[in-house]
């Protein structure tokens, strides 16, 4: 089956990035968010990011205009039902995702494929609450979506080959690379990345190093383009904590226990770049460490 029309749920940093790349690749996009403000902010980010691509000669002005005209904001979630593919990219909380799929199901076309951009939650469990576990899978983009080459494709236990092939073809049309992961907590990228970020937070918590020294060590000592704390701020500390909890609960191993300092930052609402403060304070011209 060929995918032409895509519904995206959630217009946050990932949802708007997904809408951006899909529209540039020629797909028709409907985008929804529970917050009208988030939709407006998401559309504004898409404009800014596309304009940046025009300035760098990655796309032409006319490509940008055509791409923007292919994106339609929808305030009603159920308006996304009549699409070929839905990519759910709302907040990383299982109950939120379950209720989105529950509301969508009665409005879907028989062939609509349901996917989630979840970083960690069981695809099989999300699928089992819908009427189409065989047409359900994980479609996991990396942040920032327009720049990152990888898409992890995750098959739930019931996902059929036609669904996998259709999603694989979408990734190819985007010019990105798909890697297949089995459906275990946090899949491949976050199974490896998040324990490292969590360990960096423990290193800070135990006073082994400051924010700056930890990030400098990992950037200059291991050639990572960003330090782990800077990267955590970029991802969102709420998302990092949610993923650690999924690893901890799903694998029942204490080595995945989230660092209490990570929890404290989330409790403070210091979620990283998206709220202006995390391990760094972004409200100044040059980000300043908060510890």
**Which residue of the set 45, 140, 181, 198 is catalytic?**
140
Q: Does 107 bind ligand NAD (CB under 6 A)?
A: no
Nearest to ligand NAD of 54, 150 (CB atom): 150
Q: Is 249 exposed, middle or buried (0-12, 13-18, 19+ CB in 10 A)?
A: exposed
Point out the residue whose Cβ comes nearest to ligand NAD.
Answer: 12
Neighbour count for residue 55 (Cβ, 10 Å) = 8
Contact, 154 vs 140, CB < 8 A? yes
Three-state SS at 279: coil
CB of 144 to ligand NAD, least distance (A): 8
CB of 13 to ligand NAD, least distance (A): 4
Question: x-or-dash pattern for ligand NAD, window 260-289, by CB under 6 A?
Answer: --------------x---------------
Question: x-or-dash pattern for ligand NAD, window 53-92, by CB under 6 A?
Answer: ------------------------------------xxxx
Q: Does 14 bind ligand NAD (CB under 6 A)?
A: yes
Q: Which of residues 234-253 bind ligand NAD (CB under 6 A)?
A: 235-236, 239
**Which residue of the set 16, 32, 116, 119 is catalytic?**
119
Contact, 124 vs 157, CB < 8 A? yes
Q: Does 143 bind ligand NAD (CB under 6 A)?
A: yes
Nearest to ligand NAD of 84, 88 (CB atom): 88
Q: Is 284 exposed, middle or buried (0-12, 13-18, 19+ CB in 10 A)?
A: exposed
CA distance 17 to 11: 8
Neighbour count for residue 16 (Cβ, 10 Å) = 27
What letter would DSSP give residue 76?
S
Active site residue 140: yes
User: How many residues of this chain interact with ligand NAD, rule: CB under 6 A?
Assistant: 28
Quick one: which H or E segment has residue 241? helix 237-251
From the list 183, 169, 142, the residue with the least C-alpha distance to 25 is 169
Q: Does 108 bind ligand NAD (CB under 6 A)?
A: no
Q: Is 185 exposed, middle or buried (0-12, 13-18, 19+ CB in 10 A)?
A: buried
CB of 272 to ligand NAD, least distance (A): 9
CA angle 221, 149, 93 (to 5 degrees): 90
CA distance 168 to 269: 37
Nearest to ligand NAD of 41, 212 (CB atom): 41
Q: Which of 7, 15, 185, 258 contacts ligand NAD by CB under 6 A? A: 15
CB of 186 to ligand NAD, least distance (A): 10
Q: Which of residues 161-220 bind ligand NAD (CB under 6 A)?
A: none
Nearest to ligand NAD of 140, 155 (CB atom): 140
Active site residues: 119, 140, 152, 190
């Amino acid at each position: 089956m060929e995918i032409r029309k895509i519904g995206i749920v959630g217009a946050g940093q990932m949802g708007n990035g997904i809408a951006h790349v899909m529209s540039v690749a020629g797909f028709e996009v409907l985008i929804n968010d529970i917050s009208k403000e988030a939709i407006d902010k998401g559309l504004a980010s898409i404009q800014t990011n596309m304009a940046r691509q025009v300035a760098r000669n990655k796309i032409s002005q006319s490509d940008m205009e055509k791409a923007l005209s292919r994106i339609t904001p929808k305030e009603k979630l159920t308006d996304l039902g009549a699409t070929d593919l839905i990519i759910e990219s709302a907040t990383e909380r299982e109950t939120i995702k379950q209720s989105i799929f529950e509301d969508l199901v009665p409005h879907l076309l028989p062939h609509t494929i349901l996917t989630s951009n979840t970083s960690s939650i069981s695809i099989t469990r999300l699928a089992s609450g819908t009427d189409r576990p065989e047409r359900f899978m994980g479609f996991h983009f990396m942040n920032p979506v327009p720049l990152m080459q990888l898409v992890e494709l995750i098959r739930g236990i019931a996902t059929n080959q036609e669904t996998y092939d259709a999603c694989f073809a979408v990734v190819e049309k985007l010019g990105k690379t798909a890697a297949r992961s089995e459906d275990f907590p946090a899949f491949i990228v976050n199974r490896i990345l998040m324990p490292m970020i969590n360990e960096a937070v423990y290193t800070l918590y135990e006073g082994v190093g400051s924010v700056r020294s930890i990030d400098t060590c990992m950037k200059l000592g291991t050639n990572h383009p960003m330090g782990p704390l800077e990267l955590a701020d970029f991802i969102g500390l709420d998302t990092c904590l949610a993923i650690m909890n999924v690893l901890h609960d799903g694998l029942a191993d204490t080595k995945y226990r989230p660092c209490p300092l990570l929890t404290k930052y989330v409790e403070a609402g210091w979620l990283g770049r998206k709220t202006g403060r995390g391990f760094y304070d972004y409200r100044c011209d040059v980000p300043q460490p908060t510890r």
